Chains A and B, each alone.
Chain A
Amino acid sequence: MSSPSRLQVARVVFAKDVRIERRSKVLTSQIMPFAVVTLVLFAFALDGDVILQRTAPGLVWLAMLFSSMIIVQRSFALETADGALDALRVAGADMSAVFWGKCFALVIQLLVLELVLLAGAIVMYGIELRGSGVVLLVTSSISATCGLSAVSTIYAGLASGVRGRESLLPLLVLPVASPVLIGATRAAEAAFGTGGTVVSEGWPWLGVLSVFAVVFGFGGSLAFGPLIDD
């Protein structure tokens, strides 16, 4: 019996999380409706096409951030509900691989949620995506999602053994994830052309988002095990 590689362990954890989500349908039956309702409430609060179209990218990413907290909580509730996180530690699982597996499972779920939110914003807020902005929107969304998933996975692991983690996690994650909110919003504004912006103004923000994702991705893979242990 040979020990599996880090990649194999990450793949096993990823497949487990995705399988549980597909089976439980929490994303589609609870989180997506919550995200869409948030978009609708923003529309009620900021009644007026001009304001909504100007602020749509920020509203989409705010809804995304709030909804992502529920997904992340859910992802780690799976591990703590019956002591699986402790069991993973006792099993000697490579926690760096566990981090990558859980992080990429989150990326997939958040990307699906983003698609729904963007479609909702286009329909409800009346924004239009320019052809020249598609590549920027897709790449910046993927980078932002990877960064958000990485930072959420780190802090969710850190908070997993703490009482009151449900309220603690947003307090930990949201301030740290603010560069993602700013970068993703600016890039989306450029992609949509809101406020008279042009696509070229969005590319530097893609760089910021990519650096954030790389730093928190690799930093998280190193720190996750010690954070869980302590």
Chain B
Amino acid sequence: MGVNPHADTGESPAVALRDAVALISDFPALAGLDLTVDRGEIVMLTGPNGAGKTTLLRVCAGLAPLARGDGLVMGSDVTTEREQVRRSVGMVAHSNGLYDELTVQENLEFWGSLIGAGDDEVHQAMSMMGLDGRLASVLVRGLSAGQRRRTAFAILVVRRAGLWLLDEPHAGLDSNARDEVDNILRQASASGATVMLSSHELDRAQKLATREVRLAGGVVVGDGR
């Protein structure tokens, strides 16, 4: 069973950035970065702190603007078609985007309602992530870190995100939960979704990824499959 049966399977690259410059308080967090990511890839971003990994993910999510350069994400321009970009991607950063006082199911229903997803899609996503049954009616504040992360991924499924942007998806999780995350991401990729993740779990991420892109100083300094 695929995680994302509705992933966009268009022919254009999932991400195509050329000479991308993004500023964080006048500092060029991305300094002329060139990167192309094909659909279905699992791309691991590595590099030291301040290399530009998080900014790159935020640019791809339509959250950080480009000060210079061009960028297409899932076929939409990151500068002029920001809304389309946002609708086609999903991002899980250090936070999960959940409401503590709502149950797992209520959270999924809320996020599904914003895009017109029906109850069937919500239940399907919960089932895929192992969140059905007793967990569905548990308040999010009562979940473990791993269960919260699974709920966040379930939202990406409900939202039919074709590009998953994950900033440190293993952070704060125990070994079992990390394995769960890896399995979910492999399923997502097998279903046609593209995954870009940054992680400090290098060994784990290298086993998971189909490609490693190394950043330093806001540019790509290494690219290997």
Contacts and interface: CB of A to CB of B under 8 A. Distances in A.
Contacts of B86: 89-92
A143 B95 CA distance: 37
Contact of B98 (A23, A24, A82, A88): A82
Contacts of A83: 93-97
> 10 tightest CB-CB pairs across the interface, nearest first?
A87-B97, A83-B95, A92-B87, A92-B86, A20-B101, A12-B113, A82-B95, A4-B116, A84-B97, A90-B91
B72 interface: no
Contact of A84 (B89, B99, B159): B99
B101 A92 contact: no
B114 A12 contact: yes
Residue among A81, A82, A83, A90 with max Cβ neighbours from chain B (10 Å):
A90
B146 interface: no
Interface residues of A, number: 25
Interface of B: 61-63, 83-84, 86-87, 89-91, 93-102, 106, 110-111, 113-118, 121, 155, 159-160
A29 interface: no
Please classify the interface of chain A as helix (H, G, I), strand (E, B), loop, or mixed, using the class held by over half of its residues: helix
A19 interface: yes
A1 interface: yes
A82 B155 CA distance: 14
Given A16-B102, A20-B102, A23-B101, A90 B117 contact: no
A86 B61 CA distance: 10
A95 B53 CA distance: 27
Contacts of B97: 82-84, 86-88
11 contacts: A1-B121, A2-B116, A9-B113, A12-B110, A82-B98, A83-B95, A86-B93, A90-B63, A91-B86, A91-B159, A93-B114
A63 B121 CA distance: 46
B63 A89 contact: yes
Given A82-B97, A83-B93, A84-B98, A90 B116 contact: no
